[in-house]
Amino acid sequence: MRRSSDYRGLVMKLFSKCVLVIALVVAMFSVGHADTIYTESVNGELSNDGLIPTTITVGAGSNFISGTTGAGPNFRDYFTISVTSGLRFVSLIELGGTQAGNLGFLGLQSGPQVTLPTNTPNAAGLLGWVHYAPTSSDIDVLPAMAIPANGSSGFTLPLGPGNYSFWLQDSSPGTFDYSFNIVLAPVPEVSTAALTIVGVLALVPILRRRLQS
């Protein structure tokens, strides 16, 4: 009876270590950081020309961008990001508190520019687009943008490495603050995770034999 109790204690210790190992593996593949990378009031006005969008550097994790649109000479904002090798573009979250007039517009094009004219009759040339509205909670708009609409090509999530350009516009009277979170995640190293899990599972027969003996 005492020996069985000792082995139960051993099993619990090994199980706890296995859980810790798995938790560490999961942590390795989690999003890396959260950072406010561009704020118009601090970093200056974003470009209002799609052919020369403002370049913004992003990294793994959350990348917060905020600005202002509305009637006036700068009611369009354009910027571009580069998703580097080993990362994926997984979410585009409209943050709570974002404002809009009658029609807030957000378009996404592959490449370092937005080449569509401002009076374009359709969305041909864009990967996707969405009309966004004021919200008090965070909403991921990337899945909606992925659906082809009015000429846009649509896309499959997540988006892989490459350049992506954004077009924000609100031509309603007044000015409107917006905030978005561009979320990039590392590409999981499946082989490393699989080897770790296999190693943990390999302990099960050993523990079973010890308990039976």
pLDDT digits (tens, 9 = 90+) for 74-127: 589 999 999 999 999 999 999 999 999 888 999 999 999 999 999 999 999 999
Handedness of CA 113, 81, 150, 136 (dihedral sign): negative
Q: Any residues with CB less than 8 A from the CB of 60 and at least 6 apart, and which?
A: 31, 32, 33, 87, 184, 185, 186
* Other beta carbons within 10 Å of 149: 15
Q: Structural domain boundaries of the chain?
A: 2-28+190-212, 33-186
Return the minimum-mean-pLDDT range out of 15-24, 137-146, 159-168, 184-193. 15-24
Q: What is the pTM of this model?
A: 0.75
Counting other chains too, the contacts that 192-200 makes at CB distance below 8 Å and 24 or more residues apart are 192/25, 192/28, 193/25, 193/28, 193/29, 196/21, 196/22, 196/25, 197/22, 197/25, 200/18, 200/21, 200/22
Could you please state the CATH topology (level 3) that the domain comprising 33-186 is classified under.
Answer: Jelly Rolls (2.60.120)
